Amino acid sequence: MRLLPVRSSTLRARPAVAAAVARPGSAADARLGRRWAWAGALCGALLCGLLWAPARWLAAGVDQASQGQVQLLLPRGTVWTGSAHLVLTGGRNSQDRTTLPGRVGWQLRPQWTGLSLALNLDCCADAPLQARVQPGWNRVHVQIQDHQSRWPAQLLSGLGTPWNTLQPEGRLQLQLQGLSLDWAAGRLRLAGQVQLDALDISSRLSTLHPMGSYRATLQGGDAPSLDLKTLEGSLLLSGQGQWVGARLRFQGTAEAAPEREAALANLLNLIGRRRGARSHITLG
């Protein structure tokens, strides 16, 4: 058998061919590596943005959701941990506004099933208001822990008509029991109970100080109901209402104790349709 000589140029060509074949793969690997690096940098930037999102973003969201009636002014911190002044207004372009004393603090924490919220109300509650938010497909569930708090009645004046005319003074005691809210398919369902006691209430429309103490109870269910009654006082308020869809239909009466009709006449003329010594209140 005769062996053919191998030229040195052929041997030199083989590494060159191998390098040429290897280059496309190496370039693709480099491009892939750069893409992963950019993706990692982008994810890191997004994560940092979420972790350090400024509190003013949350303030803007609250303002938008409430149509300007609830505002968080001078926010500090982040979306997750921060504080602000709580302001109630009559809505956009309204001149009526009241500010809660002190600052309101919050803590938002992500969980496997949603978010947990702790709202610190140093002026009005001994313990934080706590809630859990669980989003789902085309629905949101909010569960609020039982809670008690105390608020100045003057805060209502910032909500505009009719509170800006009544200018109430006194104390509000709020109690929440088993409260939960479900938004599903554009409809809201409420469960549990909200009780609001308005104590030693006065108004600039009457020389009688105080006029009385009252209790409003909101009871959840398929058609949530509202009950109003007088605890004590010379201005007697009572009534019942029910939510039909998103509207409240309420029928109630207001009347003065016989010896206090003159002191309460202006108020009775304002809050309802006057018939003799009694005013009829109709909403919805």
Classify 98 in phi/psi space as left (phi over 0), alpha (psi -120 to 50) or beta: beta
Strands 81-89 and 212-221: unpaired
Per the CB < 8 A criterion, the answer to whether 175 and 195 are in contact is: yes
Q: At 58, which amino acid appears?
A: L
What lies within 8 Å, CB to CB, of 116 at 6+ separation is 108, 109, 130, 131, 132, 133
Flag whether pLDDT at 104 surpasses 90.
Answer: yes
Residue 179's nearest CA partner among 187, 167, 171, 191 is 191
Query: Look-up: residue for tokens 């809505």?
Result: 91
Place of tokens 């009654």: 229
Distance between CA atoms of residues 157 and 164, nearest Å: 5
Provide the token pair at 157. 């004046």
- Whether 242 shows a pLDDT value over 50: the answer reads yes
Least confident of 34-43, 46-55, 69-78: 34-43
pLDDT of residue 45: 42
Span 236-258, average pLDDT: 91
Q: How far is CA 144 from CA 118, 131, 132, 226, in A?
A: 10, 4, 7, 19
Least confident interval from 25-39, 47-61, 141-155, 224-238: 25-39
Q: Which residue has the tokens 């209502």?
A: 156
Q: How far is CA 11 from CA 17, 18, 191, 193, in A?
A: 10, 12, 85, 90
The residue written with tokens 């409420």 in the block is 190
Please compute the mean of the pLDDT values over residues 202-224 and round it to a whole number: 93
Q: What is the pLDDT of residue 91?
A: 86
Kindly write down the DSSP assignment for every residue of 17-56, as one continuous string: HHHHHHHHHHHHHHHHHHHHHHHHHHHHHHHHHHHT-BHH
C-alpha–C-alpha distance, residues 132 and 107, integer Å = 12
Q: Which pLDDT score, from 0 to 100, does residue 161 have?
A: 83
Give the mean pLDDT of the chain: 84
> Could you tell me the pLDDT band of residue 20, with boundaries at 50, 70 and 90?
very low
- 169-195 average pLDDT score: 92
